Structure 1
Amino acid sequence: MTVTDEVTPTAPAVGGVVLEASGVTMRFGGLLAVNNVNLTVSEGEIVGLIGPNGAGKTTFFNCLTGLYKPTSGQVRFAGKPLAPKPRLVVRAGMARTFQNIRLFGNMTALENVMVGRYCRTSSGAITSILRGPKFRREERETRAKAQELLEFVGLGKVSEHLARNLPYGDQRRLEIARALATDPKLILLDEPTAGMNPQETRQASDLIFKIRDSGLSVVVIEHDMRFIFNLCDRVLCLVRGEALIEGTPAEVQSDPRVIEAYIGAGGDDDDDDVQDAEVKS
């Protein structure tokens, strides 16, 4: 299969810059995990981040979302410097999912999404303890919004099911719904199709396009080359913590350095994916 075998939904017009990372570098002692990486994401854009295992993709994500404070460089969101604190990053309008699912297994799907929504509520501790009128109003609004988001990701009928009892693909979608509950302008997805079968992967692609069409920007880390090249407007390839190439999917997948980077990383399944996904002349 080549990328020309699938039809990518037409992207809306790209707007102003949402995220701008400049010269982001992250050192762990003597290990240089990310070295002087730049990334710009505009409104209504889907950007892919690829690279062999150990390329620094998730470390770069962690720098963007405040889990790590970069050794050097700057992250700006909506034109303002972004403090390297996850709580402030979320409140600014950036949400993320994780490579390993991090749901509250003993809570229902609805409750998991409600947790994500609480960053947008304003009830204080006393009001919450006393369950005053403001708390009850915000609780109703939070529950309604959570149910709306479950419907959006296709999980409306399982809102009262425990998260741990949901199929794997549904748990991935639940994580996305929880991230959306924070009212982000930009959502970062770390390997959203990891472990999924082909049908679930297609559903994930449709959901990401749906998120984009709702007005959000998206950044995706993914090892599935067919998925990423059919999904994204631009792709950035990292190798050993450095940017190898950034461009359109056609430009990236036809660059011999990208194929060489994967082959040099050990010849795993991603090598075949890159070669099979090349645009045929």
Structure 2
Amino acid sequence: MTAVDTAPADGRTGEAMLVAEDVTMRFGGLTAVDSVNFRVNRGEIMGLIGPNGAGKTTFFNCLTGLYLPTSGRVVFDGAVLPPKPRKVVLAGMARTFQNIRLFGNMTALENVMVGRYCRTSAGPFTSIIRGPKFRREEAATRQRAQELLDFVGLGHTTDSLARNLPYGDQRRLEIARALATDPKLLLLDEPTAGMNPQETRQAEELIFKIRDLGLAIVVIEHDMRFIFTLCDRVLCLVQGKALIEGTPAEVQSDPRVIEAYIGTGPDDASELEKELES
């Protein structure tokens, strides 16, 4: 376990929940993430943006233990994280994926219960014979899963197969399953991808509700209007490197961000500003 300095470098108050220090990820001769520093404070919503191929999901995978960074380190809640997803989840970090990864032939309730099992302790023998400890934990798991379905607005879907749910509900179900692990930090990879405007508004309201529970949240998203409305701070990655980090106002007005997304001309900048203001 490695202690880290939790005082924000720019003088903001707040204690660091997640700190990535000079994280680099190479695949052979390709550098997908290049010496990125990243910080998320407790109770903060942090946005991660960048054009396609910027390295956002690769960086996410480094943060959550799916990849072992080529160099650098990730510190979560004061300890260096091991590159093992299960240990990362047990430490208090949960995530969703860009492509929905639900168990389609299981009910909504069962999907959330799966997320909860990392917090149960009944051994294999007790589970096989369905002993008293297993029955107590199973009942508690079922109750907690139902509470989380209610929390995300899916209480009516308890017995519905996940594959039969509308797309937006499947996204919310993934979030409920992640919350079942009792995280301190929730990472959402494109939570509004494929959603209509109403579903996007519902997702925004849900993320604010989760933050109000005291969780820190990191969001990857291509919907710039969504990210700039939602987040306290935003980091923009371009070609694996950190381009700018700051408030939504600072990031959306930076000409380098406009250039990275849509080009360099003044007409391009004006079009992006109109889109963000509309």
TM > 0.5 fold call: yes
Letter in 2 for 1:61: F
Q: Are the counterparts in 1 of residues 20 and 37 from structure 2 also a CA contact under 8 Å?
A: yes
How far 1:14 sits from its partner (Å)?
6.6
The answer as to 2:159 corresponding to 1:154 is no
How far 1:129 sits from its partner (Å)?
0.5
How far 1:249 sits from its partner (Å)?
0.1
Distance 2:13 2:168 in 1: 30
Moved over 3 A (4+): 271-275
How far 1:263 sits from its partner (Å)?
1.8
- Structure 1 alignment gaps of length 5 or more: 1-12
Report the secondary structure of 1:142's partner residue: helix
The answer as to 2:233 corresponding to 1:250 is no
How far 1:276 sits from its partner (Å)?
2.2
Distance 2:272 2:14 in 1: 31
Letter in 1 for 2:20: A
Distance 2:117 2:272 in 1: 40
Report the secondary structure of 2:138's partner residue: helix
Distance 2:272 2:49 in 1: 12
Q: Are the counterparts in 1 of residues 50 and 222 from structure 2 also a CA contact under 8 Å?
A: yes
- Structure 2 alignment gaps of length 5 or more: 1-11
| Residues 67 and 230 of structure 1, relative CA distance in 2, 3 Å threshold | same
| Residues 14 and 100 of structure 1, relative CA distance in 2, 3 Å threshold | farther
Distance 2:159 2:272 in 1: 38
The answer as to 2:80 corresponding to 1:81 is yes
How far 1:274 sits from its partner (Å)?
5.9
Letter in 1 for 2:82: A
Equivalent residue, structure 1, for 2:174:
175
Q: Give TM-score scaled by structure 1 length.
A: 0.91
CA-to-aligned-CA distance 1:18-60 (integer Å, 9 cap, x gap): 1000000000000000000011101100000000000000000
Q: After TM superposition, list the pairs within 5 Å mapping 1:47-196 onto structure 2.
A: 47-196=46-195
Distance 2:241 2:16 in 1: 22
Distance 1:205 1:140 in 2: 31
| Residues 137 and 15 of structure 1, relative CA distance in 2, 3 Å threshold | farther
Equivalent residue, structure 2, for 1:31:
30
The answer as to 2:43 corresponding to 1:44 is yes
Letter in 1 for 2:230: L
Report the secondary structure of 2:191's partner residue: coil
Q: Give TM-score scaled by structure 2 length.
A: 0.92
Q: Are the counterparts in 2 of residues 225 and 273 from structure 1 also a CA contact under 8 Å?
A: no
Length, aligned pairs only: 264
How far 1:258 sits from its partner (Å)?
0.1
Distance 2:107 2:159 in 1: 5
Q: After TM superposition, list the pairs within 5 Å mapping 1:1-12 onto structure 2.
A: none
How far 1:106 sits from its partner (Å)?
0.1
Q: Are the counterparts in 2 of residues 14 and 45 from structure 1 also a CA contact under 8 Å?
A: no
Report the secondary structure of 1:69's partner residue: coil
CA-to-aligned-CA distance 1:99-147 (integer Å, 9 cap, x gap): 0000000000000000000000001111100110000000000000000
Q: After TM superposition, list the pairs within 5 Å mapping 1:205-244 onto structure 2.
A: 205-244=204-243
Report the secondary structure of 1:47's partner residue: strand
Q: Are the counterparts in 1 of residues 258 and 272 from structure 2 also a CA contact under 8 Å?
A: no
Tell me how large the CA RMSD over aligned residues is.
Answer: 1.9
Distance 2:17 2:118 in 1: 20
| Residues 272 and 126 of structure 1, relative CA distance in 2, 3 Å threshold | farther
